[in-house]
Amino acid sequence: MQINSKSFTLRRMVSNRMQRILQTLLLNLFMVLLMLVILLPFYWLIVNSFKTNHELFLDSLTLPKSFQFKNYVDAWVQGLSQYYKNSLIVSTISMTFIIFFSSLTAYGISRFRFRGKTLVFLLILGGMMFSEQIALVPLFKMLTRLQIYNTYFALILPYVAFRIPFSTFLIRAYMLSIPSDLEDAAYIDGYNSWQVFRRIILPLSKPILASCALVNLNFVWNEFVFALVFIEDAKLMTIPIGLMAFKGQLRINYVVMLAGIIIATIPLIIVFSFLQKQFLRGLTSGAVKG
């Protein structure tokens, strides 16, 4: 009986180990396939941006016979530099206002008690469900009446307004995970609410602020609808609209357009490379709070 029991236990252990190995292999295989699905379009884009138009249409999957770095120079000279400048201006100002107002709102909702607090939070959640497309006509009329249509602020104000609810929701959840004892100690030391917010809450909230910055930067940098409707002057166009006009200017020179797309993605890649640790920490910390 003891021998049979030991043999059964051993077979069970081997079976469990084989199941774990099989699960690991299947998971790794799935991740490899997922990685290929994500990376193959990038491979196609990068490889073809160094080709001539003839090589692109002849075989778009092979490596170029000679790398055409001139495509990137042509893309930059033929208008991408201006679109880059416009996107940087709009994105920087929008991100500054979004993070500032969202962090202040989240701090007030998560730390103070006041009448109508629940209603304010529900209104913020309602703002997350408000469609941008529905607001196009009212926003167009408002911007025209304010005489800021076809200016940078015609993009900045809608971007800030539409991204504050989501950012506030994320930052609030994170701030709820910060121990209130730290604030109590600061108040005892003579700090006021603004000093507590600036010197304690903001430094501790760097991960979630970085996460919000990345998410909102991705939205603002790639936003198309508002930029298409609220901007007419080619000198004020941001990258998404500029690339569309870029295609019309270049006609059949697709390889230069592909080079322009690669250049347009570089800032997002660089920012994410520097902030990826903070991004992951910000999205996972405070997730159980509410």
Residue 268 carries which side chain, given as an amino acid letter? L
Q: Indicate whether 56 belongs to any domain.
A: no
In a domain, 219, yes or no: yes
Does residue 29 sit in helix, strand or coil? helix
* Contact criterion met (CB below 8 Å) for 249 and 79: yes
Tell me, yes or no, whether 54 lies in a domain: no
Structurally, the chain folds into a number of domains equal to 2
Report the 10 Å Cβ neighbour count for 37. 9
**Looking at the domain assignment, is residue 53 inside a domain?**
no
Q: Which two tokens stand for residue 55?
A: 């090589």
28 and 139 fall within a common domain: no
Angle, CA 94 vertex, CA 92 and CA 100 arms, to 5°: 100
Is residue 130 domain-shared with residue 10, that is, in the same domain? no
102 with 174, same domain: the answer is: yes
pTM reported for the whole predicted model:
0.80
Whether 40 and 121 map to the same domain: the answer is no
Residue 160 and residue 84 in one domain:
yes
* Co-location of 33 and 111 in the same domain: no
Task: Answer yes or no: are the C-beta atoms of 214 and 147 closer than 8 Å.
Answer: no
Residues 25 and 157 in one domain: no
Ordered DSSP codes for 161-202: HHHHHHHHHHHHHHHTTS-HHHHHHHHHTT--HHHHIIIIIH
Cite the beta strand spans of the chain per DSSP E: none
Return all residues near 40 (Cβ < 8 A) that are at least 6 apart: none
- Verify that 130 and 84 share a domain, yes or no: yes
Residue of 287, 98, 281 lying closest to 174 (CA atoms):
287
Full domain range(s) for residue 37: 2-44
CATH number at 121 reads 1.10.3720.10
Q: How far apart are CA 235 and CA 246, in angstroms?
A: 12
Do 37 and 145 lie in a common domain? Answer: no
pLDDT in tens, the chain (290 residues): 545 565 656 667 767 778 888 888 888 899 899 888 888 888 898 999 899 888 888 888 888 888 888 889 888 888 888 998 999 999 999 999 999 999 999 998 888 888 888 888 888 888 888 878 888 888 999 999 999 999 999 999 999 999 999 999 989 888 888 888 888 888 888 888 888 888 888 888 888 898 888 889 989 999 989 999 999 888 899 988 888 766 655 466 788 888 888 888 888 888 888 777 766 665 565 444 44
205 SS3 class: coil
* Three-state DSSP string of 203-248: HHCHHHHHHHHHHHHHHHHHCCHHHHHHCCCHHHCCHHHHHHHHHH
User: Which of the 8 DSSP states describes residue 234?
Assistant: G
Q: Cα 153 vs. chain centroid, distance in angstroms? A: 21
- Please indicate, yes or no, whether residues 115 and 27 belong to a single structural domain of this protein: no
